[in-house]
Amino acid sequence: MGNVRDKMMQDLDMAGYAQGTCEAYLGAARDFVAFHWRSAEEMGQDEVRQFVGNLLKVRKLSAGRVKQYLAGLRFLYVKTLGRAEAVSFICWPKQPDRLPVVLGMPEVRALLRALQVPKYRVLAATLYATGMRVSEVCRMKTTDIDAARGVIRVLGKGNKERLVMLSPRLLTVLRTYWKMERPTAPYLFTGDNGKPLDPKPIRKALAKASAKAGIEKHVTPHVMRNTFATHLLENGTDLRTIQVLLGHASIRSTTIYTRVSATLIARTQSPLDRLLQTG
């Protein structure tokens, strides 16, 4: 697997995948090889089918987790090994159509107050203020901040660049944080090793803070991103602008927030009201 793994890492890097995606895909390939105790080059569609069957029937993984495994195996065989026929049968498992988790403004305030470590509190505030992915915030550099124009330059999925808003309040918070913490240049959020902060600590910090604040929802960095988008929509921001801010390739990914906006739903007049008004 060693040589194939190195090639796969190189291919993932060339494709510009995020670090978390690279780790997930490599992990899928590693588990597949370990399951059969054979090299990926020696195996084909039959072995892939057996492995997928194990994921579904024995390990009983969620549809989302299985989809991640399938995406990793598809990349391995299509891109790295050039044997698309080995995974041509793959169909994505249907995932439950669940609404995104969104926090109310009182919950956001309570959450930020409950985050005791300044670094995590500022990082969470940045997630909510910009809608950036946690991996994007963790890699954010001081040079990405354009205070004069009021924007932050973001290097997103597939090395695609976009701009997000930099509110005056967030700029003040970031400047105060930088003066207090003096993170290792050029990054704003770094670990003890001076490298960009790993997302895992902020995930744990959000879970701990939400419990402390009495928030019953499962709060993650992505929930902060959901909350950003939903609050913008409720404040009148059009979907196209939200799509650009989030870095969605398709507006279809953005329209889901129209289904979770309690404010927009409450503003919609029931046909019963119109019936009574015209009666």
Known catalytic residue at 36: no
The single residue of 83, 208, 212, 248 carrying the catalytic annotation is: 248
Per DSSP, the chain holds a count of helices (H) and strands (E) of 13, 3
Known catalytic residue at 182: no
CA dist 209 and 121 (Å) reads 10
Known catalytic residue at 133: yes
Q: Is the C-alpha dihedral spanning 197, 131, 17, 93 positive or negative? A: positive
CB-based contact 189:137 (threshold 8 Å): yes
DSSP 73: H
CA dist 30 and 163 (Å) reads 36
CA dist 28 and 67 (Å) reads 10
The single residue of 5, 36, 79, 222 carrying the catalytic annotation is: 222
Residues 6+ apart with CB under 8 A from 170: 125, 126, 129, 130
Spatial CA neighbour of 69 closest among 89, 47, 54, 52 = 52
The single residue of 119, 121, 133, 231 carrying the catalytic annotation is: 133
CB-based contact 135:225 (threshold 8 Å): no
Known catalytic residue at 77: no
User: Can you read off the two tokens belonging to residue 22?
Assistant: 């690279």
The single residue of 225, 240, 259, 274 carrying the catalytic annotation is: 225
Known catalytic residue at 257: yes
The single residue of 17, 25, 77, 257 carrying the catalytic annotation is: 257
Known catalytic residue at 157: yes
Catalytically active residues are 133, 157, 222, 225, 248, 257
